[in-house]
Amino acid sequence: MDASSLPLPLKDILFFSFLFLLLHYLFSLLFPTTSKSTSSNLPPGPRGYPVVGCLPLLGANPHHSLAHLARQYGPIMHLKMGKHHVIVASTASAARVFLKALDAYFSDRPVDAAPIRLAYGAHDLVFAQYSPRWKLLRKICNLHMLGPKALETNSKIRRSEMAHMVRSMHDSSQRGEPVKLIEMLSALLANIIGQVALSRRVFDTANAEAAEFKDMVVELFKEGGKFNMGDYIPAFVWLDVQGLEKRMKELQRRFDEMLTRMVREHEMSAAEREGSPDLLDIATAYMHEETRDGVRLTHVNIKGLLLNLLAAGTDTTSTTIEWAVAELLQNPSILKRVQAEMDSVIGRDRRFEESDISNLPYLRAICKETFRKHPSTPLSLPRLCTQDCQADSYFIPKNSRLLLNIWAIGRDPDMWENPLEFNPDRFMTPKGTTIEPNGNHFELITFGAGRRMCAGDRMGVLMVEFALGTLLHCFDLELPKGVELNMDEAFGLALPKAVPVSAVLKPRLAAHAYL
């Protein structure tokens, strides 16, 4: 028998099979099957490179790079990233097209490495597919934590936790110690969420466990916001060229240990809450009974929901407040003006209360201006197009990914005069006072809009106004001697400051107001 007729060894068969599949995949990227007429109707965008497409164009700050590209290609832009079509909306009018007129087509999310590794395989609220289970999780949050009635019911918890933070800050001020604002604010927010969801404080105002939790949340938002090569070029998944898979798995392990402990301790204390269930009790009840739609929650859903509340509910809000403080330190005249407003309305004999917010238009304008210039989420979480559609005469293919450049929308010079300037007065005009970050005004969509708008928008706005107002009313702030203010950003799912703010606080109220 001729040696050439002998079968190949198994390892060679596997090698050539893999090579064939890889070449077939690369060929499909280089020569897509999309018809010429369809391709010509796609939104304009950069050509990109073979195989990787436009991924190398994103750089270290994708929101900056995409904003720059949008100035060249337009407010609705198409980029081919690996095998995926990505649509980027960079103006308020473009966002309105997708989140109002076409919202029903963009209500799902792609299930990539981040939701798989960091959000229990997208079995949480943030990344879950638009489905009865997602609707149930959102309903539970609205009824028991995030909706108007729940916010009113839980006002005493917020007031109590704010008092804890103020006393801790006052103690530091008496010792002359600089305060790391982000750590204090994260502990405040985590404890408020813990009281509502778990019926207990999660951390002391500032300790080692709280600092570790904050570090984990920062890492989660940092890793979760990166563009993972494996999400766009499946052949690269097993290579893990960026090391993301390894880091995300380890981070998920650490979070799971913490969340599993919290859920277990909560279940063991269930008898103590008989007759007054908290949010987690309500959610856990759906593990034992189905809804009319046949939905039954699991332990994974419960832990995923708790992760969403603790991570998203602390990081985005604390980051926004820190940016506001940084801007005020750079603009002392604005700081003096808002403190004068509070002194006029509240005086200095008592602390700031939530009921004061409606009487402080300049404080609210400062918060809106911070939402505009420093959105907590610079690029929206991606949405998935569920069917072919048309957007402003452009063809949008099914399974395209939609990104909103919220950072670019807030700095659009056609929408905002002198957009790089921090100017709260733009929200003090008759038109400006009507603009709210509630999903109805697309020039200020900090929390998104449409079906997948952030469920915590009301609580986010309230906590920024309440915590920032309390901080500015109770204390004068200044940088430690010899320290310069750094205004650089650190990109991720959120947009924190690259260098956190440490401030020296000086009490400005009557002594009894801090008790």
**pLDDT (tens digit per residue) in 322-343:** 999 999 999 999 999 999 999 9
pLDDT score for 302 = 95
User: How many CB atoms lie under 10 A from the CB of residue 271?
Assistant: 6
User: Helices (DSSP H) in 286-345: which residue ranges?
Assistant: 299-330, 332-345
**How far apart (Å, rounded) are the C-alpha atoms in residues 67 and 374?**
15
Tokens (6 digits) for 398 = 């099914």
pLDDT at 428 > cutoff 70 = yes
Torsion sign (Cα): 188, 190, 191, 193 = positive
State what percent of residues in the chain have pLDDT above 70.
Answer: 91
**Burial class (CB within 10 angstroms; exposed 0-12, middle 13-18, buried 19+) of 308:** buried
Q: For 351, list phi and psi in degrees, rounded to 5.
A: -85, 160
Residue 444's nearest CA partner among 462, 430, 426 is 426
Let me know if 206 is exposed, middle or buried by CB neighbors in 10 A (0-12, 13-18, 19+).
Answer: buried
- Contact by Cβ (8 Å): 373, 422: yes
User: Who contacts 369 (Cβ-Cβ below 8 Å, separation ≥6)?
Assistant: 327, 422, 423, 424, 426, 427
**DSSP at 146:** I
Q: What Cα–Cα distance (Å) separates residue 50 from each residue in 252, 317, 397?
A: 33, 40, 20
Mean pLDDT of 12-27: 47
Instruction: Look at 224 and 362; give whichever has higher pLDDT.
Output: 362
- pLDDT given for residue 11 in this prediction: 45
Per-residue b or e along 139-172, where b marks 16 or more CB atoms closer than 10 Å to that residue's CB:
ebbbebbbbeebbeebeebbeebbebbbebbbeb
Could you give the angle at the alpha carbon of 317 between the alpha carbons of 315 and 323, nearest 5°? 100
The answer to whether 122 and 116 have CB atoms below 8 angstroms apart is: yes
22, 403, 428 from 9: Cα distances, Å: 20, 47, 77
Q: Given this model, what pLDDT does residue 388 score?
A: 96
Hey, which residues does 503 pair with through a beta bridge?
Answer: 179
Annotated ligand binding at 389? The verdict is no
For residues 307-320, give the mean pLDDT.
92
C-alpha span between 108 and 130 (Å, rounded): 5
* pLDDT 10s digits, 149-182: 999 999 999 999 999 999 999 999 999 999 999 9
Beta bridge partners of 403: 88
* Interior/surface letters 453-476, b for 16+ CB within 10 angstroms, e for the rest: ebbbbbbbbbbbbbbbbbbbbbbe
Q: What pLDDT sits at residue 16?
A: 40
**What's the Cα-to-Cα distance from 282 to each of 137, 258, 286, 293, rounded to whole Å?**
10, 21, 7, 17
Q: What is the pLDDT of residue 3?
A: 38
- The owner of tokens 């995926």 is 84
- Extended strands (E) in 3-124: 76-81, 84-89
Res. 426: pLDDT tops 80: yes
Specify the amino acid at residue 315: D
Give percent above pLDDT 90 in the chain.
73
What domains does the chain contain, in order, with CATH numbers? 111-389+425-514 (1.10.630.10)
Each residue's pLDDT tens digit, 48-63: 998 889 999 999 899 9
**Mean pLDDT confidence for 248-252:** 89
